[in-house]
A and B are shown apart, each in its own frame.
Chain A
């Protein structure tokens, strides 16, 4: 059974703080993703990675960076948190396989509040 874990379920930070969100998957998946989910806007892709040390910008990368030093771990970094980054953050992983787009498995999410 694929398991994607995230370091915190709830996090409260202050404006200007540097924030790290950690994600770990245990199925040796090559691809990992960070999304944020907001009411009325759905899930939006922030960054993704298809290999160690590789990263690609998603649709809303501004204000975020990522790090993938090991295959199983993908970190999302908010360099200087702002109130408009209050959101639910979801990590996902997938294996490209041979048949094209494969299922993405999600972690339980981190609800981040920036005060």
Chain B
């Protein structure tokens, strides 16, 4: 079983739609959680950290459920520029990150 599992997609949505991605992790001792974004042929970049209380950054909302070992990302009012691969990332130890394989999002006009 992979440490971090994501639906690879692609998710095809029209502009303005709301889309949600989910991720599960297997290590109950995981300490920190993140969503990274990776554009085609580019390097990953931090999108947002994920906290137990949930957090929001503009159109993006992240949630963590430690009991179910489940992380989510909600994108509201999708833009064309949101097209990318979204990587679920879990920190399992000293500065060490484990990456999911990513969920691809395609936003169309």
Contacts and interface: CB of A to CB of B under 8 A. Distances in A.
Nearest to B99: A43
B103 to A, nearest CB: 11
A44 B2 CA distance: 12
Given A100-B31, A101-B31, A101-B32, A42 B43 contact: no
B102 A42 contact: yes
Contact of B43 (A41, A50, A101, A109): A109
A75 interface: no
8 contacts: A40-B101, A43-B44, A45-B98, A50-B95, A90-B43, A106-B44, A106-B45, A109-B43
Interface residues of A, number: 23
Contacts of B42: 108
Contacts, number: 46
B39 to A, nearest CB: 11
A94 B45 contact: no
A103 B94 contact: no
A73 B34 CA distance: 26
Given A45-B98, A48-B95, A107-B43, 14 more contacts: A41-B101, A42-B87, A42-B99, A42-B101, A43-B99, A96-B95, A100-B31, A100-B32, A101-B31, A101-B32, A101-B97, A103-B46, A104-B97, A106-B44
Nearest to A103: B46
A31 interface: yes
B84 interface: no
Interface residues of B, number: 20
By Cβ-Cβ distance, the 9 closest A-B pairs, closest first, are A106-B43, A42-B101, A101-B91, A43-B99, A101-B32, A103-B46, A42-B99, A31-B95, A106-B44
Contacts of A41: 101
Given A50-B94, A94-B95, A101-B95, A42 B46 contact: no
Contacts of B100: 42
B1 interface: no
Interface string B28-70: 0001101000000011111000000000000000000000000
